[in-house]
Amino acid sequence: METTEPEANVTRIMLAVNESSIKGYPHASISSRGAFEWTIQKIVRSNTSGFKLLFLHVQAPHEDGFEDMDGIYAFPEDFKTMKHRDQTRGLHLLEYFVTRCHEIGVACEAWVKEGDPKEVICRQAKRMRPDLLVVGNRGLGPFQRVIAGTVSEFCVKHAECPVVSIKRSPGETPRDPVDD
Amino acid sequence: METTEPEANVTRIMLAVNESSIKGYPHASISSRGAFEWTIQKIVRSNTSGFKLLFLHVQAPHEDGFEDMDGIYAFPEDFKTMKHRDQTRGLHLLEYFVTRCHEIGVACEAWVKEGDPKEVICRQAKRMRPDLLVVGNRGLGPFQRVIAGTVSEFCVKHAECPVVSIKRSPGETPRDPVDD
């Protein structure tokens, strides 16, 4: 994508995005979509050539393969297929954001990584040195946070770059606020 | 100041600014200047008509008048003079930022308020509903934070709008990092 300003001079915003816990892949979570819309509407605005968005999706590895218990895994290749399918799902999630950026006319790049999301996001932020990291936030209460964990709080505390955490609006919150 | 977009549609960024603990009024602290420069260079960029900056300076009230012990306070009017002088100092601090905005061509407003800075900042953010609150951060370690307190951590946790905390670069940190 062409930009009117040299790459080194654009503002690079990293967005950590994940899949919907309600609809599953390839749908983006409510808070990821909210964080993206906030970035476009409030920060990028009409200045599409001044920004580049870096989308990062982190997949937690299957610890016990629970999600795939219906399948039969007899050979090492079967597990490779599983891993490949997961990565493909992650790519389809990113496709949503990359397509939106293309429509809007803002430059972007996207990655799928595997690992503990909060740690991988901070590690990638350290490596890529974005000017700002934007993370969605379900806006959970203290009790729900203990159960669900919050990636955003960890990133606000540990990422080496400026971080902004975008809460879901009350109108977007599902009946069970842990859902996203 | 004229804007090409209607006021309701600009991105409103609140910046909490304070005076230098080294040079005193009217000089801005290192972290306030850093937060301002980050906002201009990384967010506003060339899109000056798309943003409005709201500067807020909060003065903690004199609890015991220590700073004014050299003066003679015999009449109630003397204390009024003191308070008036403080407000004037606060205005001169804001003058720096307002002048910079005027030079750059970005719309702004500025306020001086009195009270506990972290609480007043959150209260004003609730009242004014900015799209983003930017606060400077000295980047203190855990031990220094206990002594010096951090307004930025409180705002990140309690403000109802998105908040970004901008750390001083290591090169800008004075010999005593509690200084600013």
Q: How far apart are CA B52 and CA B130, in angstroms?
A: 10
At residue A28, the 3 state secondary structure works out as strand
CB A130 within 8 A of CB A54: yes
Residue A97 DSSP SS3: helix
Provide the H-helix boundaries in A105-161: 117-128, 142-148, 151-158
Q: Determine whether the interchain pair B50/A46 forms a contact, defined as Cβ–Cβ distance below 8 Å.
A: yes
Q: Which domains does chain B have, with CATH numbers?
A: 11-61+98-167 (3.40.50.620)
Which strand ranges, in their side-by-side order, compose the sheet holding B132-137? Answer: B107-114, B51-59, B11-16, B132-137, B163-167
How far is Cα B102 from Cα A104, in angstroms, rounded to an integer? 30
Contact B54, B128 (CB under 8 A): yes
Q: Over its length of 180 residues, how does chain A's per-residue pLDDT go in tens digits?
A: 444 555 669 999 999 999 999 999 999 999 999 999 999 999 999 999 999 999 999 998 765 554 555 566 677 777 777 777 777 888 999 999 999 999 999 999 999 999 999 999 999 999 999 999 999 998 887 777 776 668 999 999 999 999 999 999 888 889 888 899
Q: Are B57 and B18 in contact (CB under 8 A)?
A: yes
Its pTM stands at 0.87
Instruction: Say yes or no for a CB contact (<8 Å) between A166 and B163.
Output: no
pLDDT tens readout for residues B130-173: 999 999 998 887 777 776 668 999 999 999 999 999 999 888 88
Binding-site residues on chain B for chain A (CB distance < 8 A): 11, 38, 42-43, 45-47, 50, 131-132, 156, 162-167
Peptide bond into A26 cis (omega under 30): yes
Cα A3 to chain centroid, rounded = 24
